[in-house]
Each structure stands twice: as C-alpha cells, then as structure tokens.
Structure 1
C-alpha cells in the first residue's frame, strides 16, 4: 500500500513509520518544515519514504495538497494532534485545533483522494477517561462525559486536553456518518505510551511527556502533580496496531482501546531497581503504589487486531536503555 502518515516526526509516528516500512508499505509523511523532513529522511535513509510540508494542521485546507499523490494513496494514518498544557484560551488553543485538524484531513481525503479506502486516527484514552466518575470497566463503549460548556469554561488544562481528544474523535465519527465517504474509519485509543525513542531528540529536554516521567523516576525528581495513569502501552505495540488497522478489513468502522495493562509508579521503580542497580539509589521512596478502582478490557484489540502486548518489564527496561543512550 501507499500510505500518508501525518505528524511523522513525533514519538509515536516515527515508530509507526518504521512498522509501515517493515510491512512493505511506501510512505509519505507530513512534517512542519523542510528541516524536519530532512532529519526524517536521514533516519530512514534508503527506505521508500518522502515528505510533504503541512505547517499548521488546524488551518482550513491544511491537508488539501498533502493528500494528493501519484500514484495515489491507499490509506491514511493521522497521528498529528496538538498536545500541550499552555492554554490561555480553551477554544482557540486546544479545542479548535484538535477538532479542525481531524475533520480537515477527512474533508481533504474525501474531496481530493478518492483512492483512499482506509483511514486510521490516533485518539487517546483521554477521550474515554472519566476521572471523577470512572466506570467499573473501561472498554470501547466508554466516553469522556465532559460537555462543550464545561470544556470552554474549565481552568483545568488536563480536562481541556481530554475534551479536545473527545470532541475531535466524535467529530470524526460524525463526519463518516453524515458525509458517507468511500473510506472506512478506525480509531485507536492508547493510554500512557512508553518505550524506546526512535525519533530525533536534540536533548533530553525535548522528551515526549510520558517518557519524561520515566526519566524523572530515574533521576529521583519529585512528581509534578498527581501520579500518572497506571494504564500503559509500549510504543512499538501501538505502532503495530496502526499498521494492522489499515491491513485488517475487520478493523473498519471500529474503535480500539489499545493497552497492555496496568503498572504503578512503584512497579516501574522496582523494574528499574532490579535491572539497573546503579540507578536504585536515585529512586524516590514515595512512588505511588495503588491501582485505580476500575478494570480495563483490551480483549477487542486482541481478538480483532491480533495484538500481543509487551510486558511492563520489557517496556520499562527498553525505555531506560534508550534514555541512557541519549545521555540520561
């Protein structure tokens, strides 16, 4: 297949790109600048990869040219999405870019890339999470319950982010329902994503949010805010899930909660302590050790996509090794 991958220089997307190439697909990826594109080509030297520049994914028509190709695309994987907590205006800074970035690419595919038959979007567990009133079991039926009014007025940046992922995903499903495009939609909802770093990172200060948590554990830094969600997935498993989602016809029209399981801060600390004795002295004594009152159900991803998830131990050990190679 020929695949368009958006946001190709990101932590997750670079692994998706690697997995697409391993499966024999040709890939064009969107990047924000020529410089980022050249860095990516250098990472995948000699592979069937090229890039297209999309500066701001939230602009009207941002993807109109990127979706055009000769030979044409067969599938699109959309991983690009704004993720930050520097929120001054909930609507302008997070809600609009998330929703418009998602609907924008779907509109562009429908109008300019009729050859595309499969579209996969990276959503998030954030679109399922209900921190104040969690269900007994999280599965694909569960949605974040925040209303647009609440999203527009809350001063909690994390809550705005959860809302942005929720409304972006709902907009995607609504688009398919009302516009009836010739492509099918599959959505993946990963939780905390850990794993080795494949993308270009100039310094440890540029780490993705979840792996920075592991770095802080290694360094014994005090936690900034509440303990992270214990639900996790290895980035390599998440990357494979994206590729299986475009290859497996059964994935069409489906939402998948892709997660390996749960692991507390203390669980991760114990793994680091055992595998890297020289780091043990840095680990804090107050690592969170309690699991939440809900269960998780990942059986759909195993049954339909055929997922086999890595253990927490393998994920954390490989993450630490990767961080050490970057100078941690």
Structure 2
C-alpha cells in the first residue's frame, strides 16, 4: 500500500515545521506549502527526502489563488498557517482574509478529493471570563470589539474564533470530509531547524514570551498555559487516523500539557538545571497566573489524538529543550558576529490568548 500524502500549510512556521518533520519521520509523502524565502529554505532539505517532500511556494494563501495542482494526489490536509496583523495588511482585512482564505483552502482540498482535514485552532478561540473549556465554549469577542481594540492579540482571538466557526459551518454541509480542530495554548519547545530558518528577528512568539524570564525588567506573559510543540505536531498526524465524526462526534479538541506551570517554577528549574542563567534572571516580580494548566478532557484527547497524559513531555523536558536551543542559537550568532543582544527582551502587555 502506497504511503499517504499530506499537504501542510505554514510548513515553515514554528508548529508547521515540526508537523512536516514528524510526517516525514512517519513515512508520509508530504507537500509543504510556504511563502517565498521560507519555501526556499525548506527546499534546501528536499534532496534528502527525494520525492517524499514536495515544496510549493505561494505568495499568500489567504488572499491569492492556489494552483489546483497543489492538491493533486493529496490524501489529507493539515492547515496550520494563520494570517496575523502586520504592516503589510490593514487591520480591518485580517479577519476577512482569515475566514475567506481558510474556506478557500478547505474547499479546494475537498474539490480535489481530500477526505481528511486537520486544522490548528487556538485556545484563543475559546478563552472566556468563566475560564470554561468545553466543546461548545467560545470566546465572547466580537469582530467589532476586536477592531476597536487596536490590539493585534485581541484581533488574533477574533481571527481564530471566526475562522473556526466558518469551517464548522462548512463541515456541516460536507459530511463526506472529516474535519478536526486541535486547539492548543502557547506552544513551547525547541525549533525544528531543518525547516525553520531561525533568525534574531523571527523568533516565535512563544519563545519571545519565555525570553522574558532571562531578560532584566522584561514584561512577563499573562500566563504559561502551554503544550510541547513536538507533542502537538504528533497530535495533528494522529488525528488523521481518528474514528469518524459519525462515530465520536465533532472533533474539536483542546490539547494542552497536563502539568501545572507557574512563573516561579520556571525560575526554580533554571536555577537548578541551568545555573549559568541565574545572572540573567528577570528581577521583576512575576504576576499570579489565572490558571496554571488547561483543564482538558484527556479522555477526549486520547479518543481523537491517541495521547494520554503520561505520553506528553514533562515541563522539565519542554523548558530545558527550549532554553538549550535558544542558548545554542545565541552562541552561533555571536560566533558569526551578529548582535544577539537585540533578541526580544521586552514584551508588550499581551491580552490573554
């Protein structure tokens, strides 16, 4: 039996690069969909994988057209890419681009015969004042309030909420396609360097958050709800083999670490295991987090992704791998004569996501 072919959008991003690597490790044929220079970076590794890795360069999958040949021979789609507010995109266009672009990708995949679609959602789509995380819970944010806020992270919450709602409405009309949403909080862990071109100016947001612990007077993130990015990558692939919706119901899964994590835990772990970082510790008093872990339904997580709590990486594994990777990058950049002192060390006050 020939291996399945999986198309992955956002394959050069922090999460997407891990999904791409995990898919190749599991024997899938892959189609990596990415933009410009990022696609070129992935292509550097294509010779190693031969025909098992096809790289498709796109301009903008949310506002531009996708060549119909992209999905030729593809069995499953993992859609990770998300448009963010940027200098090149007017604030008011981000949410419509996300909704229309996501529906465009999903519809084109279905038209090409793709029968299984897994999408990366976000806890941002669910975050609510009651701190409730049930399958039918949603963030109360409206598009109008998001636009009025002028806050990119509030816009991100609305972006993820309304994009997901649009796909579920589409899925109701297309029961022949299996649709799964996996909703993580912040993703921690090391980079997948083979497919992610890490530079001083493109650190993932979650890594920027964790740098706040080793920069004097930096602003802390508002909480540390998290999952390990490598566990999340495998969860996406495992979801392709989940029972059908007709058997287990709508596959909307909150996927987060089962382990509590407080700010003081980070400092304690680093002080014990990486004492060379103690002189860099942030001197600010950390806040009291509203939650230290997401109250996930692990029975449901196992049903859809195969993960049990004991299968997930420990906080120590996740954080030490993250900081070791960052320290390695710092040394590399310094050896190349690059200024590693300008790494993000002062994080603006971020709205909860």
TM-score calculated relative to the size of structure 2: 0.82
Match of 2:98 in 1: 98
Structure 1 residue ranges without an equivalent (≥5): none
1:302 pairs with 2:296 = no
Q: Give the aligned length.
A: 315
Match of 2:139 in 1: 144
CA distance in 2, matches of 1:4, 1:103: 16
Residues 98 and 323 (structure 1), Cα distance of their counterparts in 2 relative to 1, 3 Å cut? same
Match of 1:167 in 2: 162
Match of 1:255 in 2: 252
CA distance in 1, matches of 2:302, 2:267: 28
Structure 2 residue ranges without an equivalent (≥5): 332-353
CA deviations 1:287-326 (Å, max 9, x no partner) are 5252316961241213432212111111000001111121
Match of 2:42 in 1: 40
Residues 129 and 229 (structure 1), Cα distance of their counterparts in 2 relative to 1, 3 Å cut? same
Question: What is the correspondence of 1:211-230 to structure 2 with a 5 Å cutoff?
Answer: 211-223=207-219, 227-230=221-224
Residues 134 and 43 (structure 1), Cα distance of their counterparts in 2 relative to 1, 3 Å cut? farther
TM-aligned CA deviation for residue 273 of structure 1: 1.6
Is the 1:16–1:239 Cα contact (8 Å) retained in structure 2?
yes
Q: Secondary structure at the match of 2:68?
A: coil
TM-aligned CA deviation for residue 86 of structure 1: 5.5
Match of 1:73 in 2: 74
Residues 58 and 122 (structure 1), Cα distance of their counterparts in 2 relative to 1, 3 Å cut? same
Is the 1:8–1:29 Cα contact (8 Å) retained in structure 2?
yes
Residues 253 and 54 (structure 1), Cα distance of their counterparts in 2 relative to 1, 3 Å cut? farther
Match of 2:206 in 1: 210
Question: What is the correspondence of 1:1-328 to structure 2 with a 5 Å cutoff?
Answer: 1-33=4-36, 35-43=37-45, 45-47=47-49, 48-59=52-63, 62-65=65-68, 67-69=70-72, 72-84=73-85, 89-92=90-93, 94-111=94-111, 113-114=112-113, 116-130=114-128, 133-135=129-131, 137-178=132-173, 180=174, 182-198=176-192, 199-223=195-219, 227-250=221-244, 253-261=250-258, 262-288=260-286, 290-292=288-290, 296-299=295-298, 300-307=300-307, 308-327=311-330
TM-aligned CA deviation for residue 125 of structure 1: 0.6
CA distance in 1, matches of 2:304, 2:117: 17
Q: Secondary structure at the match of 2:169?
A: helix
Is the 2:223–2:291 Cα contact (8 Å) retained in structure 1?
no
Q: Secondary structure at the match of 1:292?
A: coil
TM-aligned CA deviation for residue 101 of structure 1: 2.0
Residues 242 and 314 (structure 1), Cα distance of their counterparts in 2 relative to 1, 3 Å cut? same
CA distance in 2, matches of 1:284, 1:267: 14
Is the 1:266–1:289 Cα contact (8 Å) retained in structure 2?
no
Is the 2:41–2:197 Cα contact (8 Å) retained in structure 1?
no
Report the more deviating stretch, 166-175 or 140-149: 140-149
Q: Secondary structure at the match of 1:134?
A: coil
Residues 66 and 151 (structure 1), Cα distance of their counterparts in 2 relative to 1, 3 Å cut? farther
CA deviations 1:28-61 (Å, max 9, x no partner) are 111112x43232132454222111122112225x
CA distance in 2, matches of 1:221, 1:63: 45
CA deviations 1:125-178 (Å, max 9, x no partner) are 110112xx233x423332111223323333333211100100001011011113
Report the more deviating stretch, 289-298 or 159-168: 289-298
Q: Secondary structure at the match of 1:146?
A: coil
Residues 325 and 143 (structure 1), Cα distance of their counterparts in 2 relative to 1, 3 Å cut? same
CA deviations 1:58-113 (Å, max 9, x no partner) are 225x23425432xx111000001113466984321x212211221110121233x1
Residues 298 and 67 (structure 1), Cα distance of their counterparts in 2 relative to 1, 3 Å cut? farther
Residues 287 and 19 (structure 1), Cα distance of their counterparts in 2 relative to 1, 3 Å cut? farther
TM-aligned CA deviation for residue 184 of structure 1: 1.0
